[in-house]
Amino acid sequence: MLDIKLVRSNPELVKENIRKKFQDEKLVLVDEVIALDAKYREGNQRLEFLRSRRNALSKQIGGMMARKEFDQANETKREVSAMGEEMAALEAQGAELEAEIRKRMLVIPNIIDPSVPIGKDDSENVEIERFGEPFVPDFEIPYHVDIMERLSGIDLDSARKTSGNGFYYLMGDIARLHSAVLSYARDFMIDRGFTYCIPPFMIRSAVVDGVMSFSEMENMMYKIEGEDLYLIGTSEHSMIGRFQNTFLEESQVPQRLTSYSPCFRKEVGAHGIEERGVYRIHQFEKQEMIAVCRPEESDAIYDELWKNTVDFFRSLDIPVRTLGCCSGDLADLKVKSLDVEAWSPRQKKYFEVGSCSNLGDAQARRLGIRIRNKEKGNYFAHTLNNTVVAPPRMLIAFLENNLNADGTVRIPEVLRPYMGGKAQIG
């Protein structure tokens, strides 16, 4: 959410940013916010005048009564009473205007970073850098589910019976590999100085409103019937929510946290859930990283976060590339975002395995996350998040890049301690 002062003082900047995101239907919101804000401030000024006047008159009434000026005292009381009624009406109007302003401000997109490429959708995202050499073996690589099934590692048919499409049973060595990757990711991030956390897997609507846009929520999150609770789509939601309505001392930032959680997603608009694949699914597990920091630190921490993911995948011998998300592909709260994509030897192309985002102070404004500074005044923090790894999607890249010609799967050295010392499975 933007600072209302920015909208008030530089509406053309806000409108130009909306145009860069190809959301021209939102241009009218800027003018509506300015008009509503002017009315709100006018009402507030009148309210402050009446409050001051009422206090002054209330003090005078006591003197009038002491001097036995009863008629004048009663007249003043009536004036004070009338003021009270007008003040109550102004307070109600102010609350209504505040709600209308906030409703519009929540859907006006954040100001994007100058480095963000301008484009309408993800087809116009820009490759930044490649890490590792993409390799295609001289033998055919089966579909990822076929690899898992040959290793007795997945049961989609039973999952469809119990839960429907978009669910799975992982079995045996594949299930162990799944857990090993998450355990390795946990230790990898702890070794890089991040504090490990297991957060709540459900959050209240106030936190949902703070961390994401309404359209994202509708397309992603499952609501718990009859309760003010949602299943998290990613642990970033509850991790950032942990700081709501808090003041952090400057000595306490930056906060670097890494979290494990299951994730639950509707995947609305995802062009259908594959019946046999595990690329888009309703339930998965993930190791995440988040940071809460000073505004001047956020660019450097953004680079630190995405490099962690690149280094993690390279430690598992998986080639990756980074892709700068264009303006039209950015969620409204994001200042900038970068996707990490892994190489698929079977498809001979890269596919997304993680996303790193800098949200500026948008989430902090919504949730009231401030940093205390006695000299310069308190200010809103910046928040960032990035995927470390999200199996089973990551398992697609892992299996394809570590598959041997005989159908066995090589286990990279760093992962072997988590697999009971095994050098391969199959």
Q: Quick one: pLDDT at residue 85?
A: 87
Q: Quick one: pLDDT at residue 202?
A: 97
CA distance 359 to 51: 39
CA distance 171 to 176: 8
Domain 4-105 listed as CATH 3.40.630.30: no
User: Which stretches of 19-156 are assigned E, i.e. beta strand?
Assistant: 126-131, 154-155
Q: Residue 267, exposed/middle/buried by CB under 10 A (0-12, 13-18, 19+)?
A: middle
Q: Quick one: pLDDT at residue 80?
A: 83
Determine how many CB atoms are found less than 10 A away from the CB of residue 70: 10
Determine how many CB atoms are found less than 10 A away from the CB of residue 85: 9
Q: Which CATH superfamily is domain 122-425 in?
A: Bira Bifunctional Protein; Domain 2 (3.30.930.10)
Q: Side chain identity at 387, as an amino acid letter?
A: T
Give average pLDDT by consecutive 10-residue segment, the chain, 426 residues. Answer: 94 98 97 97 93 84 80 84 89 95 94 97 97 95 96 95 94 97 98 98 94 79 95 96 97 97 81 68 96 97 98 97 97 96 96 96 97 94 97 93 96 97 95
Q: Is 416 helix (H, G, I), strand (E, B) or coil?
A: helix
CA distance 397 to 343: 7
Residues of the chain within CATH 3.30.930.10 domain(s) are 122-425
What positions carry a catalytic annotation?
Answer: 265, 280, 352, 355, 393
Name the phi and psi angles at 220, rounded to 5.
-110, -50
What angle (nearest 5°) sits at the alpha carbon of residue 202, between those of residues 200 and 204?
115
Residues of the chain within CATH 1.10.287.40 domain(s) are 4-105
Using N-to-C axis directions, what is the helix angle for 172-191 and 298-315, rounded to 10°? 140
